[in-house]
Amino acid sequence: MARDQSRFAERGTTYWPLTGALVVLLLTACMALGPVLRNSAWWWGMAVTATVVLVSAAVFRRLRWPVSVVPVGALGVLLVFLTVFFGDGSGLLWVIPTPTTLERFGDLIQAGELSIQQQAVPAVPYPGILFLLCVGAGAIAIVLDTVAITLRAPAIAGALVLIPVAVPALITTSGTDILQLVLVAAAYLLLLRVDVRTRRAAEAANPDHGRSAARSFGPDRRGPGPVWGSLGVAAIAIVSALVLSAATPALSDTSVINSRSNGVLFGNGVSPLIDLGQDLRRPEETLALHYSSDADEHPYLKLLTLDTFSDDLEWVAGHGPINKGNGVDDIGSAPGLTSRIERTKTTTDVQIDNVISSWLPVPYPATSISGLAGNWTWDDTALTVSSEQSTTRNQRYTVKAIALKPTAAQLRDAGTDYPPDIAALSSVPAAAPPVIASTAKEVTAGTTNPYDAAVALQRYLRGNDFAYSTQAPIDQNYDGGSLGVIAKFLEVKKGYCIHFASTMAVMARTLGIPARLALGYLPGESQEAAFADRTRWDVSSHDLHTWPELYFPSVGWVPFEPTTGRGSIPDYALATGATDTSTSAPAAAEDKRPTNQGLLDAQHNAAGSSQAQGALGTWLQTAAIVLGIVVLLLAPLLVRRGIRFVRRRRLARAGPPSLAWREFVDTTLDYGIGISDTETPRHLADRAFSRPEDSAVRESLERLLVAVEYERYARPDAHPDVRTARVADLDAVLRALRIRASWPVRLRAALLPRSLWPAAFGPAPGTPAVSA
């Protein structure tokens, strides 16, 4: 037993460098998430989690815990760590998880999933996202430790770090940074080199014994040495990572990857990238919510605002620090609004039907909200209402708001004295196509103030030159809200709300007018039924809408409606004495959707085609998942069969007899026949075939034994006629082992061959005790 303990002691000290290399590799891989997350607090959370888990596993190994128990202990440490930092004091003595802790974890997972769905990159690492990142880092750390140290396969462990490395390639068009890939590859090379040195140290400290005694090391080594082998593997890893980074963005843009049968908002949350076309192109309408209001003009219901540009020049939601003290029972006043603007108080009762989002649809500007379940806060600048942990699912609430009624004269006299934070929203990226600014300048020629310029832009976009179409941007490949899309839209002059709204907002910015986008719903359609003692209004998926908001001093953010054929133009946006050439009917008629039957038929057919493609994509995704699971389940079998095939092929070419003996030993392990460190080959052979009916196979086994014994102990020139193991003898022995095993044992041996990771399973039942 002293010999066995010394092995564990050696393992506890020698494998510390390997643990350190794993820490470096995982922490370097986590850095690849930088392009998709803001600030660096998330990295420190992942780094601490991964380090704690890996070091705890090394400590357990140093304490001589059984190798099969070490991953379980590391998992326990991860749970304790998460309980301390994310359990919000719900754990027993702050460290032991309780049912309340698990509920808290569930809430964080749900909040994290919603936040991932609804944020643009770079995303704010809210607590839900941070929790998921720490869980992922801890889980990868446990698997890395198990594969690299317990199973002694660090080369395979390198594939696991591709999980965080591939994330930027999956959700950004720029892919993973090349420098980051090189750093990860260097850390992977370090792991391989440390593993080589660890193996050398272990072999020097523990001379050949037990199963390892069957190995044959010739005086001359063929093939690359450990350094060049590590460099070769690392080179393959670098090239593979580069290819993955280059190929993944292209895959992520395909309909198979991005197919979502339920659309952007309903069932999948709001996308701040404004992928509204899929919902608008759906042939069937889905009831999103219904409401009633005492307002004179039924309001647009706003979800969120988009006021900044991503690296891809797409509109994204700007985020400031979350003020948890901003309770919705008392919402602050609208930025820039003064008392001289006429207003009326309104009350709106809302019932959510099929909207699942962490943003709440409310009129702007709201003053208070009651009846909500969960914790909700309002943003200081946009006055949008959101929650880190709650959703809109089945919510019913009452919104107190004010309806603003600025006049054209007040807007025209507002001036340009913008506060610094508002003035920052009057610029566009330097990479903006010049056609946007030149068109805005041409359209607003002759105007002398921001208001008249805004009205001119709105009138231009609602003019007869532009047409509402959800299909044209798909057909001509300019869908979305980026600056490049706007330039194409100004050329084609066909699109839907996102194109009209983003074009007006960006053109306004080129003129020095602060502008942003609002995402939400049109007022919907009135019904004969009542809701909350007032006329009920139904809002459907086809009412999802985007509109621009422009800032005017003393008034604040003012909405406009540039989308032709959608919504209604506010009274203040119809300039006195000006003629709106886009409408020959009253403004109220704008509430109706486009009535051109040909356009509707085209949209219907396109939506049907899109739905069919989505169904095909779902089937392909399901098939890919099933295939992946099957391959994963069959991976041990395929690896084991591959090892056997290589050994038999080398034996057929007069390879060393130790190959045949290794195959025999591994097969006995697969069939549940344990092997101790002190057992000789003949002792094992006697145990494996001790029955009288085994006499036939004993002849083949005897020839293998003699060949192995002569290889180990005889002089190189002694009895060359018996120093070659025959493939036929090995096949006969393996066939005998298979025949005598029951079918459950055969199945287990095929799908879970113990020879691939004997240390993880420990001694098999029936193994003789190891002598002292």
Q: CATH number of the domain at 357, please.
A: 3.10.620.30
H-state helical runs in 63-177 = 70-86, 99-118, 127-145, 154-160, 162-171
What are 350-392's pLDDT values in tens digits? 999 988 788 899 999 999 999 999 889 998 888 899 887 788 8
% of residues, the chain, pLDDT over 90: 22
Residues 359 and 483 in one domain: yes
Residues 568 and 676 in one domain: no
Residue 320 inside a domain? The answer is yes
Residues 412 and 293 in one domain: yes
pLDDT tier for residue 202 given thresholds of 50, 70 and 90 = low
pLDDT tier for residue 718 given thresholds of 50, 70 and 90 = low
Distance, in Å, from the CA atom of 214 to the CA atom of 665, rounded to the nearest integer, reads 9
Residue 610 inside a domain? The answer is no
What's the confidence (pLDDT) of residue 412?
A: 92
What's the confidence (pLDDT) of residue 436?
A: 94
What's the confidence (pLDDT) of residue 439?
A: 95
Residue 737 inside a domain? The answer is yes
**What's the mean per-residue pLDDT of the chain?**
75
Tell me the mean pLDDT in the region 119-135. 78
pLDDT tier for residue 580 given thresholds of 50, 70 and 90 = very low
What's the confidence (pLDDT) of residue 4?
A: 39
Residues 564 and 624 in one domain: no
Residues 247 and 282 in one domain: no
What are 289-324's pLDDT values in tens digits? 999 999 988 889 998 888 888 766 778 776 555 677
Q: Residue 263 is encoded by which pair of tokens?
A: 């659309």
154: which DSSP letter? H
Residues 633 and 550 in one domain: no
Residue 271 inside a domain? The answer is no
3-state SS of 421-456? HHHHHHCCCCCCCHHHHHHHHHHCCCCCCHHHHHHH
What are 212-239's pLDDT values in tens digits? 444 433 333 344 444 444 455 555 555 5
pLDDT tier for residue 85 given thresholds of 50, 70 and 90 = confident
Residue 611 inside a domain? The answer is no
Residue 480 CB neighbour total at 10 angstroms: 23
- Which residues fall within 8 angstroms of residue 434, CB to CB, at 6 or more apart? none
Domain end position, chosen among 561, 595, 629? 595
- Which residues fall within 8 angstroms of residue 76, CB to CB, at 6 or more apart? none
The mean-pLDDT minimum among 206-210, 454-458, 550-554 falls in 206-210
Residues 307 and 241 in one domain: no
Tell me the mean pLDDT in the region 720-740. 76
Q: What's the angle, vertex CA 268, arms to CA 267 and CA 270, rounded to 5?
A: 115
Residues 88 and 144 in one domain: yes
Distance, in Å, from the CA atom of 354 to the CA atom of 282, rounded to the nearest integer, reads 15
Tell me the mean pLDDT in the region 533-544. 90
Residue 767 inside a domain? The answer is no
Residues 569 and 439 in one domain: yes
pLDDT tier for residue 685 given thresholds of 50, 70 and 90 = confident
Domain end position, chosen among 562, 595, 628? 595
What's the confidence (pLDDT) of residue 716?
A: 65
Which pTM does this prediction carry? Answer: 0.52
Residue 727 inside a domain? The answer is yes
pLDDT tier for residue 550 given thresholds of 50, 70 and 90 = very high
Residue 315 inside a domain? The answer is yes
Q: Residue 243 is encoded by which pair of tokens?
A: 């290819």
Residues 641 and 558 in one domain: no
Domain hosting residue 420, numbered range: 277-595
Q: Name the phi and psi angles at 534, rounded to 5.
A: -140, 170
Per the rule left: phi > 0, alpha: psi between -120 and 50, beta: everything else, 126 is beta
Residues 395 and 302 in one domain: yes
Q: How many structural domains are present in the chain?
A: 3
What's the confidence (pLDDT) of residue 770?
A: 32
Distance, in Å, from the CA atom of 144 to the CA atom of 187, rounded to the nearest integer, reads 14
What's the confidence (pLDDT) of residue 366?
A: 93
Distance, in Å, from the CA atom of 615 to the CA atom of 127, rounded to the nearest integer, reads 34
pLDDT of residue 65 exceeding 50, the answer is yes
Residues 316 and 230 in one domain: no
